[in-house]
Structure 1
């Protein structure tokens, strides 16, 4: 590719692509290609200028070389990425906005007054008809006020005022629609499937393969707690499937052989094998967009109050107009009230504020599934943290495998990884990663795996001497629930296990076979995050974990939480959240595992870690990235600032428009000026509401 470097500083390069007009598809291809590079921090492609700006961390020559060798034809980009990137939407609405402004300027500068009057009269029909339809439905709402203002101006032959009102209303409609669709698109993209590998059933065996290798009619097995990656038909197995993301149903649906399942839904219990019907990702994206647009989740109570207040004020505006005319017999003063109303700004600024906040959160890798969760986040005073993978590192690591039988540590780790790889949890991932690092490749040597939530995994190992039951999980599960024993002569070894590590226990045939020691250190930022949350308005910080009292106490002291609870079950976490809510507290729950799902559902705001269990992410109201807990603080600050902005909008809209009405009634401002100032203020408040809440 031919290009010219326009500007460059260390870690940033701006390049002009030497070609004709860059198409939207080319811009998306360029964006996807360089975003995927390991050195890319951020990439921005401006198709109108044929420019690309790359912020990178690494060798400059590598970036330049990739630019030189890049080819649109050779770059592989998923079709769903181009279809759903949002770039075409932005281009469409930018052109709409510019067209509207240019047409208005051209009409005012070049058309005679008579022609402008005819055009204005024709355009007014749409607004007047909408007002009539609203009245016919026995409603006195904003369209009635708009129609009255425009209609009275036309009757008085004040075509300039009518034209200005319609122009500003049109600009407002474009901005509102653009912001809404962009925010919904950003939210849907972040909620779309991001599954890299699936279990392909081939010759009776499960093989972990990349998602993009799956073809139509392939058989894919989905285990408990995992997202169903494709639309398909169940061929084997039985499961309870959470379909809330598509249907809104809170109760899981039972799926057996012959049933249809959909991409993006989650297996809560059981496991199923599906025959793939549809492998494309765009259908899932479209379903999510529809779900978001139809869902009342998108609206906070403050948005609802704003809309209700806006409609409630319309009759008073009309009544004020009538009373002013009756008292003063001055049509100009009466029209000044009609030209100014509170409802336009209230209805426009509030939703834009909320949607812009959702978009801004998405910029920080935070997915918020609705405006009401931002409001709840701002009001929250209690936060409950799960420990493993949340307060502690998102990637715990295996530091030792202590054998309690005559098998080698590597062989025991291989068996443990064979079991754990089927289930999404940070501890399980640590075991699987440790086996990979040692190149402990294995075949499936066990029968169907059963996952017992918050306890462990049970299966049967195939052995030459006969099948043996194997279990892996917590001490409570292995020793109390399953009554396994420590081999003779190994008690001293068991007692000397290092206390600073978390432990996973592997038992075979009723006897302890190995203890896997996992380092699960506190995140470096955890203590500062908790302190920042308290500064932002959180008064109570709680940690809950299934770990032992010893481990929980140590982590709680390091993190600086107010309370901690150890050896808790999923129902214990949910019960605690419900108890706090019953005491009048607003509760945030943050976790990453299947066992956190009940508490995430119970909380006012449930926050899931992005690389945790799919079920947790599905149920949660908010998803944050796994790299940095500061995103929780960021979300709290965005929510707090959003509420401040909404209250500021209320005060500004009411104060400014009340002032305009007073000046109009006193005869200081003519109706045209009042209308211009009112609509300009509405536009400015809406534009301000689109700005980011946090400083750069």
Structure 2
């Protein structure tokens, strides 16, 4: 790569790429190349100017060599990264904005007034029709004001004012559409399907294959808690399917043989064998985008109040215009009132503020499904953590397999992996990964696998009943026993580890010891959440009292509950809500789903069970719990911005109305200041909250 150094200080360099032009794809490729280097801490690539700013920790010469070695064609960038960058979308709307301004300025400078007036009259028809249409529907809303202001200017033959008003309205529309589309696209992309492996039925056997290998008419099996990866028809089985991601309905739908299922929905209970009917180009992205754009229930109450107030103020603005004319008999002063309205700024600034906050959250690997969840997060005073995979690391590992029936440890691990691989849970994944590391190939030699939420798995292997799961499930529910002479070994199990119990024919066969280390940042996150306004931090887990107590003390939670069932978590959340608290619930497994649904804000970890992510209102990355603190701060700052916008809109527009009625400023000046202030507030609302 050829470049010129424009400016540099220690650890930071700004260069200019020597090339004719830089496309969006090239800019994204260069950015990916830089950020994939350990020595680079931050980078900005501006394709319009071809300038690149890099912050780095290595030596200067090493950075220079890194840039010299760069070649666009040699860098393999994941398509998902290019799709999610948003650079092309930003460039498209930047060009739209520039062209809108150039056309307006060009017409003012180069077109004669008669031609300019004719063009303005033609353009005004759109706003007049919209105003009449709104009135015909029996509504007094913003389009009526826009149409009236533009119409009166045209009637008075003040075409420059009418043109200026339409120009500023056009800028507002572009900015709102830009921010809205960017936020929706980011959100929908983050929620789009990411299924890499599926269970395919072949010759009566289930085989784990790549999703890309599936063709139409293939039979696939989807177990409880898993996302349905393709559209298809149920050929066998019965299940309750959660279709909320597509329909917005929270109640699961029963699916049986011959029923049609859609990609992106989740099997909440039961299991299905599906005959695939559609494999190419999943339309879930478009479905989600449509749902986000159309669903009123995802708007925050502040957005709803703003829109409602905006519409309510329209009759008062019209009445104020009429009253001013009756008192002063001055058309100019009356028009000054009409040119200024509160509703335009309210309807523009509030949604832009919320959508910008959702977009900004995406920068921190936080997916928010609607503005109302940011508002709820800002008001929340209680937070409930699941332990496994949330406060502890999302990747627990098997540290030991203790045999209780004399069989080889690897054979017992093989059997456990054969059962656990069918179900999404961090502990199950640890068992499967341990078997994989030892190259233990486990054939499907068991019968139908039954999963009991928050308890364990039951099946039949070689004609013998086998169960694996928690102590409560294996010993209390299933009545299994410890083999004779093994009680002492059982009593000496390490209390610091989590345990999975494997039993065959009601006799304990093995205990799989799993280390689930605490996240390094967990204690600091709890402390920071309290500083950010959370009054009570609670931990709930299905683990034993001893394990739960140890984790709770190290993390610093206010309360903890051990050996809880899914319904216990949900009941606790409901109880807290009845007492007037706003509750955030954080989890990653199937067993957390009821509590996630019950909470004011349900937050799922990104690599948790699909059903948890589907039901949750917010999804955060699995790498760092500090994103919870970021979410809390972001939502609080959003609420402050919205309240500040209210004060500014009311203050500025009231002043303009008074100045117009007093005859101090003309309607054209009033309209200009009103629209410019609306635009300024809208632009300010697009700025990042966390700087």
Range class of TM-score, shorter chain:
over 0.9
- Asked whether the equivalents of residues 450 and 459 of structure 2 are also in contact (C-alpha less than 8 Å), the reply is yes
2:629 counterpart residue number:
633
The separation in 2 between residues aligned to 1:85 and 1:386, in whole angstroms, is 32
1:267 counterpart residue number:
267
Instruction: For residue 114 of structure 1, report the CA deviation from its aligned partner.
Output: 2.6
Residue in structure 2 matching 1:70, options 68, 73, 82: 73
2:283 partner SS: helix
The separation in 1 between residues aligned to 2:592 and 2:389, in whole angstroms, is 11
2:435 counterpart residue number:
435
Residues 436/206 of structure 1: CA separation in 2 closer, same or farther (3 Å cut): same
Q: How does 1:296-311 map to 2 (within 5 A)?
A: 296-311=296-311
1:576 counterpart residue number:
572
Q: Which moved more, 1:41-50 or 1:329-338?
A: 41-50
The separation in 1 between residues aligned to 2:22 and 2:283, in whole angstroms, is 27
Q: Which moved more, 1:13-22 or 1:363-372?
A: 13-22
The separation in 1 between residues aligned to 2:667 and 2:48, in whole angstroms, is 41
1:454 aligns with 2:450: no
Residues 276/71 of structure 1: CA separation in 2 closer, same or farther (3 Å cut): farther
The separation in 2 between residues aligned to 1:442 and 1:57, in whole angstroms, is 46
**Can you list the C-alpha shifts for 1:655-686, whole angstroms capped at 9, x where unaligned?**
11101111111121111111111100000000
The separation in 2 between residues aligned to 1:204 and 1:67, in whole angstroms, is 51
The separation in 2 between residues aligned to 1:190 and 1:225, in whole angstroms, is 19
Q: How does 1:121-520 map to 2 (within 5 A)?
A: 121-462=121-462, 467-520=463-516
2:658 counterpart residue number:
662
- Asked whether the equivalents of residues 26 and 72 of structure 2 are also in contact (C-alpha less than 8 Å), the reply is no
Q: How many residues align?
A: 687
Residues 454/56 of structure 1: CA separation in 2 closer, same or farther (3 Å cut): farther
- Asked whether the equivalents of residues 263 and 282 of structure 2 are also in contact (C-alpha less than 8 Å), the reply is no
2:523 counterpart residue number:
527
The separation in 2 between residues aligned to 1:326 and 1:620, in whole angstroms, is 56
Residue in structure 1 matching 2:549, options 547, 553, 557: 553
Instruction: For residue 6 of structure 1, report the CA deviation from its aligned partner.
Output: 5.7
Instruction: For residue 113 of structure 1, report the CA deviation from its aligned partner.
Output: 2.5
The separation in 1 between residues aligned to 2:426 and 2:518, in whole angstroms, is 14
The separation in 1 between residues aligned to 2:410 and 2:489, in whole angstroms, is 18
Residue in structure 2 matching 1:685, options 673, 681, 690: 681
Instruction: For residue 218 of structure 1, report the CA deviation from its aligned partner.
Output: 2.9
TM-score normalised to the size of structure 2? 0.93
- Asked whether the equivalents of residues 245 and 264 of structure 1 are also in contact (C-alpha less than 8 Å), the reply is yes
**Can you list the C-alpha shifts for 1:263-297, whole angstroms capped at 9, x where unaligned?**
11001112222232222345221111112112123
1:139 partner SS: coil
Residues 395/134 of structure 1: CA separation in 2 closer, same or farther (3 Å cut): same
- Asked whether the equivalents of residues 5 and 13 of structure 1 are also in contact (C-alpha less than 8 Å), the reply is no
Q: Which moved more, 1:492-501 or 1:270-279?
A: 270-279
Q: Which moved more, 1:476-485 or 1:533-542?
A: 533-542
**Can you list the C-alpha shifts for 1:430-467, whole angstroms capped at 9, x where unaligned?**
112222222222222222211100000111112xxxx1
Residues 132/69 of structure 1: CA separation in 2 closer, same or farther (3 Å cut): closer
- Over the aligned positions, Cα root-mean-square deviation in angstroms equals 2.7
Instruction: For residue 238 of structure 1, report the CA deviation from its aligned partner.
Output: 2.2
The separation in 2 between residues aligned to 1:264 and 1:282, in whole angstroms, is 9
Residues 671/64 of structure 1: CA separation in 2 closer, same or farther (3 Å cut): closer
The separation in 2 between residues aligned to 1:42 and 1:109, in whole angstroms, is 43
1:422 partner SS: coil
The separation in 2 between residues aligned to 1:443 and 1:5, in whole angstroms, is 60
**Can you list the C-alpha shifts for 1:566-623, whole angstroms capped at 9, x where unaligned?**
1111111111111111111111111001000001001111001111110111111111
Residues 5/450 of structure 1: CA separation in 2 closer, same or farther (3 Å cut): farther
Unaligned runs of 5+ residues in structure 1 are none
The separation in 2 between residues aligned to 1:42 and 1:279, in whole angstroms, is 39
Residues 69/633 of structure 1: CA separation in 2 closer, same or farther (3 Å cut): closer
The separation in 1 between residues aligned to 2:220 and 2:33, in whole angstroms, is 29
The separation in 2 between residues aligned to 1:417 and 1:68, in whole angstroms, is 44
The separation in 1 between residues aligned to 2:241 and 2:9, in whole angstroms, is 52
Residues 448/591 of structure 1: CA separation in 2 closer, same or farther (3 Å cut): same
TM-score normalised to the size of structure 1? 0.93
1:601 aligns with 2:604: no
The separation in 1 between residues aligned to 2:237 and 2:633, in whole angstroms, is 46
Q: Which moved more, 1:120-129 or 1:652-661?
A: 120-129
1:164 partner SS: helix
- Asked whether the equivalents of residues 233 and 259 of structure 1 are also in contact (C-alpha less than 8 Å), the reply is yes
**Can you list the C-alpha shifts for 1:508-553, whole angstroms capped at 9, x where unaligned?**
1111111111112221111111111111111111111111111111
Q: Which moved more, 1:23-32 or 1:331-340?
A: 23-32
The separation in 1 between residues aligned to 2:491 and 2:594, in whole angstroms, is 34
